[in-house]
């Protein structure tokens, strides 16, 4: 369960990225955050695992107040949260397997991980995560030899290997072609349904958000101006969130 209470984020130069955010996300939900670029989607998402610390208010994840965590406790909290990035953020020259295994580092001591000594169980978790994403046969291939969609699946496998209860996704399909986009979004939906993992995703394409998420959060200028189920989203609400009519840029189409 993720909870935001009166959260503000103000940058040193005075710019206020988040204004009075109040948000409650229950376990197992699939939430899509939509809004213009720069509206605060990224900041909101990264406040959840304290990649961007907040200035005021409280953020609770699974009962713990994230904003107060530091050092080891912060890392232990983060290992339960998977994160997917628009540019995949894989180590290009390493094998797929090594990339996924890296998701387990926070579960072991520095000494063991530095020597690359992961227990058998971890290696199996990594391989099974790859299998769940349907790319087990690519396990020992160099990451940069995979297509975009496959690389994002590796990233998903890395997140899954963490055995998380939440997965955050920052515009996960924005770099992919339309066909691959749909299949990766299908994977997100499947992960959400089969493994009961909460998914919070920043979505660039509105139609994708509406199609795959259960709940939509609309952000404009750092404020939440819409928070409700997909069925409650109307065109006028969308125009309100984006401040203009939607263009072909905001929709995947097909």
Partner 1 sequence: MAKMYTLSNGKVVTEPGNKSIIYLVIVLAITSFFMLFIPIDWKAINFRNAGFILGQLFTPTSGQTYRDYFAFIVSTPVLNALLETIRLSFGGTLIGALASVPLAVLSARNIVKKPWIYQTARAIMNFIRTIPMFVIAVVAIFFLGYGILPGIAAIAIFTFGIMTKMVYETIETIDMGPVEALDACGANKVKAVGYAVFPQVLPIYLGYFIYCFEINVRSSVILGFIGAGGIGIILYNNVGYRYDRVGGVILLLFVVVVFIQSITRYVRGKLQ
Partner 2 sequence: MKKIPLLHRKKYIITHEEATVERQLKEQPKLWIYNLILAAVIIFLIVYSFTDSQINLSRFANVWPSFKVMINGFANPNTEFLFGLFDADGSIDKTTIPYLTMQTIAIAFVGTIVASIFALPIAFITAKNVAGKHLSKVGEFILVVIRTFPEIILALILIRVFGIGALTGMLTIGLHSIGMLGKLFAEAIENMDRGPIEALDAVGANLWQKIRYAIIPQVLPDFLSMGLYRFDINVRAATILGVVSAGGLGTPLIFASNEWNWPTLSSILIAIILMVVVVDLVSSKLRAKLV
**Residues forming the site for partner 2 (CB under 8 A):** 49, 51, 74-79, 81-83, 85, 87-94, 98, 102-103, 105-106, 110, 113-114, 155, 158, 162, 168
163 binds partner 1 (CB under 8 A): no
The answer to whether 127 contacts partner 1 (rule: CB under 8 A) is yes
We find the least distance from the C-beta atom of residue 120 to partner 1, in angstroms, to be 8
Shorter beta-carbon distance to partner 2: residue 110 or 248: 110
Q: Site for partner 1 (CB under 8 A): which residue of 128, 163, 207, 240?
A: 128
124 contact, one of partner 2, partner 1, none, CB 5-8 Å limit per kind: partner 1
Relative to beta strand 30-34, strand 198-202 is parallel
Rank residues 126 and 252 by Cβ distance to partner 1 and give the closer one: 126
The number of C-alpha atoms within 13 Å of 90 and in the hemisphere containing its C-beta is 30
C-beta closer to partner 1: residue 65 or 131: 131
List the one residue from 79, 123, 142, 237 that touches partner 1 (CB under 8 A): 123
Does residue 139 interact with partner 1 by CB under 8 A?
yes
Q: Which of 27, 65, 131, 144 binds partner 1 (CB under 8 A)?
A: 131
Decide which of partner 2, partner 1, none touches 186; Cβ closer than 5 to 8 Å per partner kind.
none
Q: Please give the torsion angle defined by the CA atoms of residues 90, 94, 95 and 99, in that order, rounded to the nearest 10 degrees.
A: -40
Minimum gap (Å) between residue 77 Cβ and partner 2? 7
Give the one entry of partner 2, partner 1, none that residue 251 binds, where binding means its C-beta sits below a cut-off of 5 to 8 angstroms depending on kind.
none
140 is a site residue for partner 1 (CB under 8 A): yes
């Amino acid at each position: 369960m993720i909870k935001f209470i009166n959260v503000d984020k103000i940058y040193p130069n005075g710019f206020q990225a988040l204004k009075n955010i109040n948000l409650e996300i229950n376990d197992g939900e699939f939430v899509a955050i939509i809004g213009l670029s720069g509206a605060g989607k990224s900041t909101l998402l990264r406040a959840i695992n304290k990649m961007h610390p907040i200035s005021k208010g409280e953020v609770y994840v699974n009962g713990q107040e994230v904003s107060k965590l530091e050092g080891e406790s912060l890392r232990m909290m983060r290992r339960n949260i998977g994160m997917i990035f628009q540019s995949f953020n894989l180590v290009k020259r390493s094998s797929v397997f090594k990339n996924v295994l890296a998701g387990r580092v926070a579960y072991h001591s520095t000494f063991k991980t530095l020597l690359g000594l992961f227990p058998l169980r971890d290696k199996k978790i990594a391989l099974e995560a790859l299998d769940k994403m349907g790319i087990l046969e690519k396990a020992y291939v160099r990451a940069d030899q995979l297509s975009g969609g496959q690389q994002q699946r590796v990233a998903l496998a890395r997140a899954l290997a963490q055995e998380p209860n939440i997965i955050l996704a920052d515009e996960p399909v924005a770099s992919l072609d339309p066909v691959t986009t749909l299949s990766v979004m299908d994977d997100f939906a499947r992960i959400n349904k089969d493994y009961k993992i909460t998914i919070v995703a920043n979505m660039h394409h509105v139609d994708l958000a509406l199609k795959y998420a259960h709940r939509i959060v609309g952000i404009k200028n750092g404020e939440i101006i819409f928070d409700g189920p997909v069925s409650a989203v109307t065109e006028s609400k969308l125009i309100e969130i984006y401040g203009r009519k939607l263009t072909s840029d905001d929709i995947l189409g097909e």
